[in-house]
Amino acid sequence: MASTVRTPDPLIKLTFGQSVGAYLELTKLRIVTLLLFTTVTAMVAAADGVPALALLLPTILGGALASAGASVINQYYDRDMDALMTRTARRPIPSGRIKPIPALIFGLILIVLSVVILGFFVNWLTAALALGGAIYYVVIYTMLLKRNTFMNIIIGGGAGAMPVLVGWAAVTGTIALPAMILFAIVFFWTPPHSWALALLVNKDYTRANVPMMPVAKGEDVTRQQMISYSVILLVVSLLAFNTFSWLYLSAALLLGLRLIYLTIVLRREKSQPAARTTYKFSTAYLAFLFLAMMLDKILL
């Protein structure tokens, strides 16, 4: 396997602006934005309306720094794997735009800042949950699971679900059953979403010897599992009936049924276009579901 490893490009000399852009690229801002949206939604649900800006702003900043820092360290650790895959080879570290050690230091600084901001301006439970989410993603998912088991996405989904607990704890200082239901929604959403992407880039994961479900168990098993997890996701999303009203529940039912339908189509057609459609909708699913939660609390 060592002979197939792509050597990172020689370090490229960048202007200041290019360096800033490369470091921002390490943070995966689009993913951070989606995670922050779930955090804010959890805050709105916990507060039964829009929280005060004095609480909202430091929670957003601290949550963003934690998620960004974890993403940076993930790319530091996975730099050899990223160099092997077409989808990730142009990331800042394998492309030679950022040195590994400065990237690692940058990621650690972001996480430390997150803990300080959340601890002093929100509460220490929120800070601990944000730190726990970063550790979950970096240690449990990236270091222990991703390279070693097809269960990587199934277990690793907890990392992406931690921001909802951060948002709930920021408002209440506790973790309650509704927060755990929101956590479960993101947890069970992660496998069908991630496996749809894995089906699209299966050759990349095979080349890098990453045991994603399509590589380890085959594409047919993956498609069947996507249906199963989509059904579970629908059921879990409806468990929030005591927290939200008809607006959210209607959205949860319609979005959930649509995702199940698309996974069934994917299993029948077994095509890249079907996988791409499922992946795109699964991304929209989470955004629209949490938007429905927020509107439910603000408007009704």
HEC profile of 203-241: HHHHHCCCCCHHHHCCHHHHHHHHHHHHHHHHHHHHHHH
**Cα(300)–Cα(138) distance, integer angstroms:** 39
Determine contact, residues 126/118, Cβ cutoff 8 Å: yes
Q: What pLDDT does 62 receive?
A: 98
Q: What proportion of the chain, given as a percentage, has pLDDT over 70?
A: 96
Q: What is the pLDDT of residues 206-241, one digit of tens each?
A: 999 999 999 999 999 999 999 999 999 999 999 999
Q: Mean per-residue pLDDT for 127-154?
A: 97
Calculate the average pLDDT of the chain: 95
- Please state the pTM of the whole predicted model: 0.94
Confidence band of 55 (pLDDT split at 50, 70, 90): very high
Confidence band of 160 (pLDDT split at 50, 70, 90): very high
Q: What is the pLDDT of residues 20-44, one digit of tens each?
A: 999 999 999 999 999 999 999 999 9
**Cα(178)–Cα(238) distance, integer angstroms:** 12
Tokens standing for residue 148: 């070693």
Q: What pLDDT does 2 receive?
A: 38
Q: What pLDDT does 10 receive?
A: 57
Q: Mean per-residue pLDDT for 91-104?
A: 97
In angstroms, the first-to-last Cα distance of the chain is: 58
Q: What pLDDT does 12 receive?
A: 77
Q: What pLDDT does 201 receive?
A: 95
Helices (H), 78-201: 79-84, 100-121, 124-135, 152-172, 177-200
